[in-house]
């Protein structure tokens, strides 16, 4: 039967929701909406009434609102006042009356290459259905769907995957998330819209031959964009990459669209798009390329007029300090990365920081999420002091901060001032920038970099670096040398991957070479161009250095305390990892394993298996859930005034199974 009309101010007057009917493909298309490019339909199974409800997507965006108002006769205000308890009754109660899910429509090819249409049934990610309920839910739906349509169950989280592990696939046909979406033809990475000229390169060699010609109005497309891609109107990848790659972090920071379009070559050939002017749009549920009839009249983008002003750094003689002696305010002497690692030491050691602020922000209709945080931390109705204390204890028990030392800006300045040749090279570079002589930049920068790399380090500088170590690093000791500039992690200028880090340093001799390489990266052609485009003066730009002892890792990666492809999602943390160091993830040398972890209701799910083909053990995934919650809690401290501003955290798991955070910075959104 058809549900009665509803004429509330927030919903359409026509409501095509049906109750008790079998589902055919035409009915599905009548009621469905579109999410992530796939038609979908919300369903509610009422076990008490032995029936189900097929919701009109346009009229009912939320399962719980429909159940409360249409089935139980509640007012929305009453639901809002008891929302968390109501959610628990439909998502977590083993004896629940209602089973909530989504049916989505997909197509693929069978073994003979014929197109196959099928439905996928899944619950929300926070649902805790056990194996028995999952079997009941699937059987109930399967009996009421057109028998010609295959129906597969997709577990919504790792808990459901473990429940299904003991149930045969013949009894409960299934498909895992990475199996369903791992071969997606089009995947949004960074939403946005651009009008520009499409430049499609099939190989790295083709790109290298044309890279010098690329301008702000170009949309660059190739299998995998290199880390040194210039700032253009848009990016397109034809091969899978992670949303946490350097190129996508740059796309996010620059506010330009980026997506994976595996069938781009066919589109280019079909519509003759290479070199054509196109309108390129990336949304959460759609990616489109529209050829334009003529070259548009384009104005230079806003960032051409952007002028980022840096706070003047403190260049008085500052000592080489251990990281644990730094605080966040020291970024004006040691750079952002070093200061943030020092601040991390402080948070872990003092345990006095309030790490709960993210959960205190109202998320209508909730006043706060403190109850959810308490549940994640295993507390029952704690006081605020107890909750804050437990959050600090949890973070300190889950992660550690790296040991190491930080070289101040002043040390770099002493080195640069020691060489008249370097000073002359800096003067030439400044003159070229003042004259906006862009074509002359590359040779000047490259020559200056060579000078910096090969100029002897003054004894006074060597002595200060050596004093930071109890004993000179032996040849068998491996070090990691990282950049820490004041011209990065800025609003409008993330600089992800722009400056150098050196991860294979042995002994004092290689250490000095690595330090000079990091200093030299401040005047690389790419870094100079990118800063010049946003008005950052060379006079205001300085480089500190972090020196750490290398820690062997069994697993490493990056997490950001948001879902990069769904900006409105405040629940999830996106985590990437691969065996070994985090650098393999951010450099894009491997396709990592990818996970989403819900830091509100709990639970996680596997997004992609990457280059490895196997998922991590359940015990390791559970530990990654703790790491993700830790990242969310640290966000409350490091995001300063805006607790919704996400963090970008590089991490590793040591061979002993401990987590170490090696970098922490704002994630560009």
Q: Give the burial class of 244: count Cβ atoms within 10 A of its Cβ; 0-12 exposed, 13-18 middle, 19 or more buried.
A: buried
For the stretch 18-45, pLDDT in tens is 999 999 999 999 999 987 668 999 999 9
pLDDT at 584 over 70: no
> What ranges do the domains of the chain cover?
18-175, 186-299, 344-397+552-666, 405-545
Q: Give the burial class of 349: count Cβ atoms within 10 A of its Cβ; 0-12 exposed, 13-18 middle, 19 or more buried.
A: exposed
Res 534: pLDDT: 87
Res 212: pLDDT: 86
68-77, 179-188, 267-276, 609-618: segment of lowest average pLDDT: 179-188
Q: Taking the C-alpha atoms of 374, 375, 379 and 384 in order, what is their torsion angle to the nearest 10 degrees? A: 10
In sequence order, the 6+-apart residues with CB closer than 8 A to the CB of 597 are 572, 573, 575, 603, 604, 624, 625, 628, 629
pTM of the model: 0.88
Q: Taking the C-alpha atoms of 547, 552, 558 and 559 in order, what is their torsion angle to the nearest 10 degrees? A: -100
**Residue 155: both structure tokens together:** 């577990």
Count how many residues are written for the chain.
669
pLDDT at 653 over 70: yes
Res 51: pLDDT: 98
**Residue 582: both structure tokens together:** 């985090």
As a whole number of Å, the CA-based R_g of the chain is 27
Res 587: pLDDT: 64
The helix (run of H) or strand (run of E) holding residue 277 is strand 277-282
pLDDT at 430 over 90: yes
For the stretch 287-297, pLDDT in tens is 999 999 999 98
| 483, 543 Cβ separation under 8 angstroms | yes
- In angstroms, the CA 39 to CA 152 distance is 15
pLDDT at 338 over 90: yes
139-153, 428-442, 510-524: segment of lowest average pLDDT: 428-442
Res 92: pLDDT: 94
Chain mean pLDDT for the chain: 90
Q: Compute the average pLDDT of residues 310-319.
A: 83
Q: What DSSP string describes 606-649?
A: EEE-TTT-SPPPHHHHHHHHHHHHHHHHHHHHHTTT-TTS-EEE
- In angstroms, the CA 393 to CA 355 distance is 10
What are the b/e assignments for 627-636, b being 16+ CB within 10 Å?
bbbbbbbbbb
**Residue 414: both structure tokens together:** 């002493």
User: Was domain 186-299 assigned CATH 3.40.50.300?
Assistant: no
What angle in degrees, to the nearest 10, is found between the helix axes of 384-398 and 618-638?
120
Res 6: pLDDT: 30
Q: What DSSP string describes 215-249?
A: -TTEEEEESS--TT----SEEEESS---TTSHHHH
Q: What DSSP string describes 443-485?
A: HHHHHHHHHHHHSPPPHHHHHHHHHTSSSPPPTT-EEEEEEEE
The pair phi, psi for residue 661, each rounded to 5°, is -95, 120
Q: How far is CA 636 from CA 350, 375, 446, 646, 666, in A?
A: 16, 18, 41, 9, 12
Q: Pairing between strand 51-54 and 18-19?
A: antiparallel
Q: What DSSP string describes 6-34?
A: ---TTS-S----EESPPB-HHHHHHH-EE
**Does 435 sit behind a cis peptide bond, omega within 30 degrees of 0 on the bond before it?**
no
The helix (run of H) or strand (run of E) holding residue 74 is none
Res 111: pLDDT: 65
DSSP reduced 3-state for 592: coil
- In angstroms, the CA 356 to CA 369 distance is 9
The pLDDT confidence band at residue 467, using thresholds 50, 70 and 90, is: confident
Q: What CATH number is given for 344-397+552-666 in this structure?
A: 3.30.470.20
- In angstroms, the CA 295 to CA 278 distance is 9
| 667, 560 Cβ separation under 8 angstroms | yes
User: Was domain 405-545 assigned CATH 1.10.3720.10?
Assistant: no
The pLDDT confidence band at residue 582, using thresholds 50, 70 and 90, is: confident
Res 508: pLDDT: 79
| 280, 288 Cβ separation under 8 angstroms | yes
**Residue 179: both structure tokens together:** 């199996």
168-177, 184-193, 583-592: segment of lowest average pLDDT: 583-592
């Amino acid at each position: 039967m058809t549900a009665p009309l509803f004429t509330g101010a927030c919903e359409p007057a026509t409501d095509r929701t049906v109750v008790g009917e079998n589902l055919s493909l035409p009915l599905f298309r009548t009621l469905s909406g579109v999410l992530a490019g796939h038609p979908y339909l919300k369903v509610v199974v009422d076990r008490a009434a032995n029936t189900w409800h097929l919701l009109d997507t346009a009229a009912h965006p939320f399962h719980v609102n429909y159940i409360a108002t249409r089935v139980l006769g509640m007012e929305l205000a009453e639901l809002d006042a008891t929302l968390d308890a109501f959610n628990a009754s439909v998502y977590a109660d083993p004896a629940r009356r209602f089973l909530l899910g989504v049916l989505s429509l997909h197509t693929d090819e069978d073994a003979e290459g014929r197109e196959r249409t099928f439905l996928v049934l899944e619950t929300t990610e926070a649902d805790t259905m056990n194996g028995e309920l999952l079997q009941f839910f699937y059987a109930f739906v399967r009996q009421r769907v057109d028998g010609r349509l295959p129906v597969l169950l997709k577990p919504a989280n790792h808990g459901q995957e473990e429940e299904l592990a003991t149930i045969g696939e013949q009894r409960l046909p299934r498909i895992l998330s990475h199996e369903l979406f791992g071969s997606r033809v089009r995947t949004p990475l960074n939403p946005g819209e651009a009008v520009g000229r499409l430049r499609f390169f099939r190989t790295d060699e083709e790109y290298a031959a044309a890279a010098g010609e690329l301008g702000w109005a170009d949309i660059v497309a190739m299998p995998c964009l290199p880390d040194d891609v210039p700032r253009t109107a848009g990016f397109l990848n034809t091969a899978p990459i992670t949303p946490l790659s350097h190129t996508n972090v740059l796309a996010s920071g620059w506010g330009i669209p980026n997506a994976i379009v595996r069938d781009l070559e066919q589109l280019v050939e079909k519509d003759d798009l290479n070199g054509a002017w196109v309108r390129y749009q990336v949304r959460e549920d759609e990616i489109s390329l529209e050829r334009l009839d003529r070259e548009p009249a384009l104005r230079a983008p806003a960032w051409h007029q952007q002028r980022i002003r840096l706070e003047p750094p403190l260049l008085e003689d500052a000592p080489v300090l251990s990281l644990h002696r730094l605080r966040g305010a020291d970024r004006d002497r040691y750079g952002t990365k070093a200061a943030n690692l020092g601040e991390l030491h402080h948070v872990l050691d003092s345990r006095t920081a309030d790490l709960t602020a993210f959960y205190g922000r109202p998320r209508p209709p909730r006043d706060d999420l403190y109850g959810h945080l308490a549940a994640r931390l295993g507390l029952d109705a704690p006081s605020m002091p107890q909750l804050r204390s437990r959050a600090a204890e949890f973070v300190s028990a889950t992660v550690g901060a790296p040991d190491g030392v930080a070289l101040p800006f002043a040390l770099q300045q002493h080195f640069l001032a020691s060489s008249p040749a370097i000073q002359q090279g800096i003067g030439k570079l400044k003159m070229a920038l003042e004259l906006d002589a862009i074509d002359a930049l590359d040779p000047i920068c490259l020559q200056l970099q060579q000078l910096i790399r090969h100029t002897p380090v003054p004894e006074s500088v060597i002595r200060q670096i050596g004093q930071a170590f109890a004993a000179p690093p032996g040849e068998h000791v491996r070090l990691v040398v990282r950049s820490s500039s004041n011209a990065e992690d800025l609003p409008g200028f993330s600089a992800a991957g722009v400056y150098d880090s050196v991860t294979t340093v042995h002994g004092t001799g290689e250490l000095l070479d690595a330090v000079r390489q990091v200093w030299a990266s401040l005047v690389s052609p790419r870094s100079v161009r990118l800063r010049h485009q946003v008005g950052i003066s060379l006079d205001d730009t300085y480089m500190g250095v972090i020196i750490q002892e290398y820690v062997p890792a069994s697993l490493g990666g990056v997490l950001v305390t948001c879902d990069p492809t769904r900006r409105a999602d405040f629940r999830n943390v996106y985590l990437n990892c691969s065996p070994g160091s985090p650098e393999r993830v951010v450099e894009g040398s491997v396709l990592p394993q990818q996970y989403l972890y819900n830091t509100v209701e709990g639970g996680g799910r596997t997004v992609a298996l990457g280059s490895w083909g196997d998922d991590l053990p359940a015990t390791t995934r559970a530990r990654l859930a703790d790491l993700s919650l830790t990242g969310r809690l640290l966000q409350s401290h490091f995001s300063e005034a805006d607790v919704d501003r996400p963090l970008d955290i590089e991490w590793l798991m040591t061979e002993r199974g401990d987590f170490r955070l090696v970098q922490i910075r704002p994630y560009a959104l």
